[in-house]
Structure formats: structure tokens, C-alpha cells
A and B are shown apart, each in its own frame.
Chain A
């Protein structure tokens, strides 16, 4: 829980989020989020559906504009920088999307090479070697001429990770890495994240609701519920937490139903009010 707030002007962590609020129209989704991620750390953002964890991730990569607050990445507040500065920061980060988001009209190799072709002046032959290297790292050597549609779900995820790795990012974001995959393939993706962590000492942020995978890969965990941070701590701290909301999430206890017949009737008739 002990985060310590460094002075706002020069946060030392790789990522520092300060009083982050995000709204869709009138509705506020995140109500003031604060946390730090140290360089080389793997932070897992846990939360149920509709908790705001995906919105938080989208805000961290600059796809969602905060209504207030700051997001410091490598010493720059991405909520306040210009588009060109944001693009400079993004060149040092990579993201693997939930649905992999590979470009369907390009081969796997072209997908991985795209950031290199766009942002570097490397020779084609060098790019070729680099993309093979990246595909090798994610266990997809030899698949550069396949189209994304010819790959299985797990392979698409791996290809997306290879593309996220293309620019040798300092920070890597994962949106639901194991969503829609069978347990064995999902375990393979977890393994891949662990290998990346070990090999490159990258700062890794993972959003997920898979508990097993979260506990396996995380250095620290953040639990988000209804747009607020409920708990933040190491794997052991979270496991031993006595906080009711944490226990409910970790022990997979369903939301209690509306209590009592009277309340139920009042809900139906639209006259539900909290008991004093």
C-alpha cells in the first residue's frame, strides 16, 4: 500500500499516475487513480467486467484523454504533451491488444516490420533479420509469410506481441493476454511474458481478470473496482489481504442478490431505496 508520492514535477518511477479521472460524456469511469510502476516491474491490473481496468489501460497508452489528473511516463505527462511528443513516447512503448489487432491485409512479417519501416531508416535486409528475431522470440519462427487469418488465436497473440516488441520498447502493455484462449495456450502466453520479463527487464503492465495468470506473472497487483483502486500490493500482500472486496474477488464470491422480498419488489417497481 505504501506508495509514497514523489514531487509531481519529477516522478522517478517508469509510470506514475496521479489523481487520474476519465469520463465518457457525463459518466465518470475512473474516480481518481494513483499508483506508480517502477522500471523493470510487472504490474497486473485486476478487476471485474466494467470495473474500469480497460479504460485505465487505454488512458495509459493515450487512447483515452483524462478529464483530469496526470500520467507520467518516463518523466513526461502524456495527458499534457502535444501529439508529436506523444508519438515519440509511444515509439518506446508497445501494446498487445485483446483481439491482437493484426492488420489482416498484411502478412505476419509485414505486421511486425511495420513500426520499423515507419520509424527507422533501416535497410530492408536488416528489417528482415530483426523481424525474424522478434518472431523467434515469441516462438513463431518461420511464420512471417502467413496471413493473420491463417493463424490460431494463440499464435495471433504471439504475433501481436512480436509486433509490440519490434521497436525494443521500454514499457510493454498487455490487454487481457489470455482472453479467449484455452488454458494450455493461455499458460504459454503467461510463460512468454515471464520470459520477456527475465530477458529484457522491461516494465510490463498487464490488464486481466484471470487470477491464476495474474499471480504467476505479477510483481505487484492493483485491484480496481467501480473506477477506484481497492487494493495495491505484492502477490503475498494481496493473498493475505483481509479487505472484503479483495477477498470477494480472490475467492470468487458472486455479488449478493438484492436482499429480501420487499427490496426485490421495490427494485421491480422502481422504488428501491437503501435501508437506513
Chain B
């Protein structure tokens, strides 16, 4: 009896692992095909849908600016408050600028940007493509000999990998400005000196590592959102389910990708 239960658990874990690996495989395949249509296709006579990519970039990037600015400004302010709590005891309030600048550009800038984009665009990708699946529009593309990945996914992919780093730079700046609000009002900085201290504390690699991560986040969010959309079953209810799943899975995978790259930078940096 007990042995049977153990075998049950083992086989369930096995099935779970196989499913997860298959899912990651589908994601990688979709990501690769989108990358093919973006970077290789144009040289083989398969036109890149620049107009569609531009309107996606507008939607994914430009329209996200107000909400992203607000959130990252507050995050910067919170970071300043939190680090000041400890730094004040050491009498090192002048290090607040450095603490905010480093944690924003290395970690929180890319991550918060990714989470805002997941909420706004990852979910929208899944809902848009899922609805098209339900109304047979994806089938119609196929039957017209138009690849849905070329037509729908590639423009989103291009928009994401361009806009996410841009948004991240913006988020870093807004975060530092948020920190400056605290620095100027509570820690005897002038705005110029605070900005100078921030810039001096940043090395190019701090910013670059964040930007590389943000590109990978963009790939992840596009692949998950579009895959969830494309694998939507029949019915409006399924579209809702795909959208929710796209958000949950994207957040999980973005954190995993973040961990992998942060660890890689850490060990490569020391090595």
C-alpha cells in the first residue's frame, strides 16, 4: 500500500517534470522561430513587418511610460528610505545615492520594468492571440499560407527586445530621481550632487548587465504570452485562462531568468 503511494508520487513528479520540460521546449522553439523571422528572414526575402512592429512598440513601450515612471519613482524613494535606515546608524548617509543607483540599475530597474510589461503586454498578447485562435483567425492565416509566427509573433518579439531595454533605462533614471527626492530633502544633498554621486557609483557593467537581463526578459515575456495565446482551446473562457496563465508563468520565468543571469554575472565577474 505504502509502496504504491510512493510510486504514485514518483510518477506524478515524473509527469510534472516531463510537462515542464516540454513547455520550456515549446517556448524555446517559438522564441527561436520568432528570432529567425526577425533577424534571418529579412535576408531571405521574408519581409519584416516593421509597421506592425512599430505599433506594437508604441503599445508595449511608449504607452507604458506613465505607469512605469510612477512605480519606479516610488521604488527609488522606498530604496532610499530603506537604505538610509541602516546607513544613518553608520553615519554614512552619503552612500544613499550609491545604494539606490546600484540596486536600481543592476536589479530592480529591469525586474520592475519586466513586471509592469507582463501586466500590460504579456497578458494582452495572450488575450489577442487567444481570441484570434477562438475565432479561427489563426487557422485562416495558416490556410492563406501566412505563418502566424511571422505575422503575429515576430513583430511583437522585435518590439519587445527593443523597447524593454529602453524602458529599463528610463526606469533606472526615474528610480534614481525617486532616491534624489529623499537625498535632497533628508540627507543634505543638492540635486546636482546627488546625481553626480549616482553616476560616479555606477560602472558601465552595472548598467549593461541590467540591460542584457531586460532583453532576455523581453524574449521570455513574448514567448510565454504568444505561446499561451496560440495554445488556447475553444471558447471565451479559455482566453481568460490563457491570459492568467501567461501572467503567472511569465513572472515565474522572469525571476528564474533573472537568477540565472545574476548568478552568471556574479561568477563571471569574480572569475
Of the candidates A62, A88, A97, which one forms a contact with B140 in the assembled complex, judged by CB atoms under 8 Å apart?
A: A97
Please determine whether B139 and A97 come into contact, CB atoms closer than 8 angstroms.
Answer: yes
What sequence of 0s and 1s flags, for each residue 46-66 of chain A, a beta carbon within 8 Å of any chain B beta carbon? 000000000000100111000
Beta-carbon contacts under 8 Å, B135-177 to A: 135-137, 139-140, 142-147, 151
Please determine whether A101 and B139 come into contact, CB atoms closer than 8 angstroms.
Answer: yes
Please determine whether B139 and A114 come into contact, CB atoms closer than 8 angstroms.
Answer: no
Total A-B Cβ pairs within 8 A: 51
Distance, CA A115 to CA B145, complexed state (A)? 8
Interface size of B by CB at 8 A reads 13
Of the candidates A88, A104, A114, which one forms a contact with B144 in the assembled complex, judged by CB atoms under 8 Å apart?
A: A114
Please determine whether A101 and B137 come into contact, CB atoms closer than 8 angstroms.
Answer: yes
What sequence of 0s and 1s flags, for each residue 119-143 of chain B, a beta carbon within 8 Å of any chain A beta carbon? 0000000000000100111011011
Of the candidates A63, A99, A118, which one forms a contact with B143 in the assembled complex, judged by CB atoms under 8 Å apart?
A: A63
Contacts of B139 in A (CB 8 A): 58, 63, 97, 101
Please determine whether A98 and B144 come into contact, CB atoms closer than 8 angstroms.
Answer: no
Contacts of B151 in A (CB 8 A): 118
Of the candidates B135, B136, B137, B145, which one forms a contact with A90 in the assembled complex, judged by CB atoms under 8 Å apart?
A: B145
- Shortest Cβ distance from residue B131 to the other chain A in the assembled complex, whole angstroms: 8
- Shortest Cβ distance from residue A180 to the other chain B in the assembled complex, whole angstroms: 13
Please determine whether A115 and B140 come into contact, CB atoms closer than 8 angstroms.
Answer: no
Distance, CA A103 to CA B140, complexed state (A)? 9
Contacts of A91 in B (CB 8 A): 145
Contacts of B146 in A (CB 8 A): 114-115, 118
The chain B residue sitting closest to A98, CB to CB, is B136
Distance, CA A157 to CA B195, complexed state (A)? 62
The chain A residue sitting closest to B47, CB to CB, is A118
Contacts of B135 in A (CB 8 A): 99, 101, 104
Please determine whether B145 and A119 come into contact, CB atoms closer than 8 angstroms.
Answer: yes
In this assembly, does A22 line the interface, its C-beta being within 8 Å of a C-beta of chain B?
no
The chain B residue sitting closest to A89, CB to CB, is B145
Contacts of A97 in B (CB 8 A): 136, 139-140
Distance, CA A94 to CA B136, complexed state (A)? 14
The chain A residue sitting closest to B131, CB to CB, is A104
Beta-carbon contacts under 8 Å, B66-113 to A: none
Please determine whether A99 and B136 come into contact, CB atoms closer than 8 angstroms.
Answer: yes
In this assembly, does A95 line the interface, its C-beta being within 8 Å of a C-beta of chain B?
yes
Give the B-binding residues of A (Cβ under 8 A).
58, 61-63, 86-88, 90-91, 93-95, 97-99, 101-104, 114-115, 118-119, 163, 167, 173
22 A–B pairs (Cβ distance < 8 Å), ordered by A: A61-B143, A63-B139, A63-B143, A88-B145, A90-B142, A90-B144, A90-B145, A94-B143, A95-B143, A97-B139, A98-B136, A99-B136, A102-B137, A103-B137, A104-B135, A114-B146, A115-B145, A118-B145, A118-B146, A118-B151, A163-B140, A173-B143
Give the A-binding residues of B (Cβ under 8 A).
132, 135-137, 139-140, 142-147, 151
